[in-house]
Amino acid sequence: MIIMSIKKKLSWYFELLGIKYKETPEGFILYYRMGDKRVSILVKIYEEWVEFRWIGLNIGSIKQRSPDLYVILLETLLKLNNVIREVKIGIDEEDNIVVLIHSHRDALFFDVFESEFMAIPLTIRAILEIEPLKRMVSK
């Protein structure tokens, strides 16, 4: 069996799934089409993990405008973490919603990658269905 480097293996997987990508020093940027939108997903390769990261909407303005709504939003995002399996949802220090996958390098095979990766657009769609995020996007 030929052992591929992790970067070569990932770029092969992206090509198999028709995902456009660009190499970066740390990994890749993926350009994934979701309907009429194109989302960018950052891929970083670590010693133990491969991280896939989508940085989404900033909810700082909701916090300023309506603190109660902000709490409900945070609660909903945490609830989603209990429903959606492959990915996790967090927020960064700037109040951006972030969708993440941390795949074990040892367990990264095509079928696992495909199933985990495809959960990112599903999660993005689920997040964008949450009011008032839906209204923010449609503005």
Partner 1 sequence: MEADRVFRRIERYMKLLGREIVAFDKTKNILRVRERVRDEEVVVEIRISSEWVMGLLELGKIGDYKNSCELFRKLLEANFDHPEYVYSIKGDRIYAVMYVSVDALNLDVFYSEYRRLFHAYRYFKDVVK
Of 53, 44, 58, the C-alpha closest to 7 is 44
The single residue among 64, 115, 129, 134 that binds partner 1, judged by CB under 8 A, is 115
Task: Output the DSSP codes for 63-128.
Answer: HHH-HHHHHHHHHHHHHHHHH--S-EEEE-TTSEEEEEEEEEGGG--HHHHHHHHTHHHHHHHHHH
Report whether 86 contacts 116 (CB < 8 A).
Answer: yes
Considering only residues 19-78, where is the footprint of partner 1 by CB under 8 A? 46, 49, 51, 67, 70-71, 74-75, 77-78
Name the β-bridge partners of 133.
none
Name which of 80 and 122 has its Cβ closer to partner 1: 80
Q: Is 94 in the site for partner 1 (CB under 8 A)?
A: no
Instruction: From 7-15, 28-36, 82-90, 125-133, give the range in contact with partner 1 by CB under 8 A.
Output: 82-90
Contact footprint for partner 1 (CB under 8 A) = 46, 49, 51, 67, 70-71, 74-75, 77-82, 85-86, 88-93, 98, 100, 102, 104, 106-107, 109, 111-112, 115-116
